[in-house]
Structure formats: C-alpha cells, structure tokens
Amino acid sequence: MTGPSSPDMTSAIGGNLPYLRRYARALTGQQDSGDRYAAAALEAILNDPELYDASLSDKVALFRVFHAIWSSSGMPVADGGEVGLAARAQQHLSRLTENTREALLLHTIEEFSIDEVATIMQVDSDEAGQYVETAFLEMRDAISGKIMIIEDEAVIAMDLEGIVMDMGHRVTGVARTEGDALDLVTKERPDLILSDIQLADDSSGIDAVNRIIERDGDLPVIFITAFPERLLTGEGPEPAFLISKPYSENQVRSAVSQALFFASTETLIR
C-alpha cells in the first residue's frame, strides 16, 4: 500500500487539490475560509498519514479527510457580523437540513456517485441519497432571483436560460461580449451572474465581471470553464463558484442555488 508521503500519493493529492478548493469554497461561500479548510485537511494528512485511506480512490480519500475536519468543526454556516445580502444568505443556510448541502455539492459539482458521497460523509448510501433529494427540494423552494447570463455560444446560452427559468428564476438577458454585459447590467441589476470565461471578440468574462463589480458593487458570480484548474491555483483572488464544461443540468442547478445563498464575491484578478 502506498503511503501518502510517497511521490505517487503526493502527486495524487496535488492533482485533486484544485477540486477540493472548489468544494470548500462553495461550501463556505468564500475563497479565504474555503482554502483554510482545504489547508487544514492537508495538514491533517501530513501530521497523521493514516487518515488518508489509500484503499479508496485518490479524490475520495482526500475529500473524506476534509469532510471529517469539516464535520468536527460543527459545519459552520455563519461566522457572525455579516450584513445585507451576506446576512440573508446565512439565514437561508441555517435553515437547511444538516448534511444536505454538502451531499448535494459532492454529488453534483464534484460528480461523486451516491456511494462515494456516502463514503466521504461516512454514512450509508440510502442516507446519502436522501440528503441529495432533500437538498434539491429545500433549495428549490428557498430563494428565487434575477440572473444575467454572459455566454457567446447561442445554444449554451439558451440551455442555461432554460435551466434557470425552470428553477423559478428570471433571466435579465444574455450578453455575448464584455461590452454587452456592462450595458445589460446597467439596464437591470441582477441578483446573480452566470458567466463563461472566453467570450466573442476575444473579450473575457472575468474582465466583464471585474468591471461590473468595481462599478456596481458586489454580486454572486458563477463561472463556467473547460479548464477549472486554471482558476483554482490558490494564488490571488479566485471564484468561489465554478462549473466545468461540459456541465450537467444538476451542476448548474446546484451552483445557482448555492451562489444565491452566498451573496459575497471577491473581484477576480486575471
């Protein structure tokens, strides 16, 4: 059995670290707090290699260690002191059934099977499946809002629009370029931005979002990209909510619901 301090295991952990950061950030709603939990998992493995179960797949083993730490911390959903949208988000989160949000993120955003979710959360598969079903029901009914889509591919834009409208949200419009996005948000401020990274005319969804936030104030944002690892390096401000292409409907539904709960999004630096 390979130990976690071996080169192979170190490489396996490093390869899955961007996805652990993504999960932790979505769970906490913030880059800083999410990264602290991810770092705590790595430190725990370093201090006690036996925590890392090498009989499991690399990603499942890493997430299982993280989840043990998250659970032992009491799975906090509020640090206190929030105001405005962030305070409202934490109020919504505090009313969700325990463990449901974690199971939903693991299954939809990180694409673990229900059996793998059960292993990570250390519950049986039936319980893990019930967590996911309950999360969908509770989050569907919890909040609705106005969503702006920044996407230059018409088919994808229509698909995203259909998904969020089926969830009960309203789409304020679709922008194909950075300039279109700035114009659109001026007409009606959304509650959430769903943005691709690379846009038509070689403009950037990141640049568009940065300019919107700098000009109009903080908004929750979900980025969609074929290369999530490029935005999850741990260097500088990075997105809390990130969907990989090709995406599934459940991934979009989960991320939109999560992001509407967490209304604080840091400006990104490319």
Residue showing tokens 């090498």: 54
User: Per residue in 203-239, pLDDT tens?
Assistant: 888 889 889 988 888 888 899 888 776 666 665 555 6
Examine the domain organization and report whether 29 and 101 are in the same domain: yes
Which of 12-21, 38-47, 85-94, 209-218 bottoms out in mean pLDDT, i.e. has the lowest? 85-94
Phi/psi of residue 83, nearest 5 degrees = -135, 165
Q: Of 141, 173, 202, which closes a domain?
A: 141
Domain residue limits at 89: 6-141
pTM, two decimals, is 0.59
Q: Of 108, 141, 174, which closes a domain?
A: 141
Examine the domain organization and report whether 76 and 45 are in the same domain: yes
DSSP structure class, residue 75: -
Phi/psi of residue 215, nearest 5 degrees = -85, -40
Read off the tokens for 182: 């700035």
What is the pLDDT averaged over residues 249-259? 83
CATH number of the domain to which 21 belongs: 1.20.140.160
Q: What stretches of the chain show up as alpha helix (H) in DSSP?
A: 7-28, 31-47, 58-72, 84-94, 100-108, 114-121, 125-142, 154-166, 178-187, 205-216, 249-261
Residue 88: count of CB within 10 angstroms of its CB: 15
Q: Measured between alpha carbons, how far is 91 from 113 in angstroms, rounded to an integer?
A: 29
Q: Measured between alpha carbons, how far is 70 from 65 in angstroms, rounded to an integer?
A: 9
Band of pLDDT at residue 262, cut at 50, 70 and 90: low
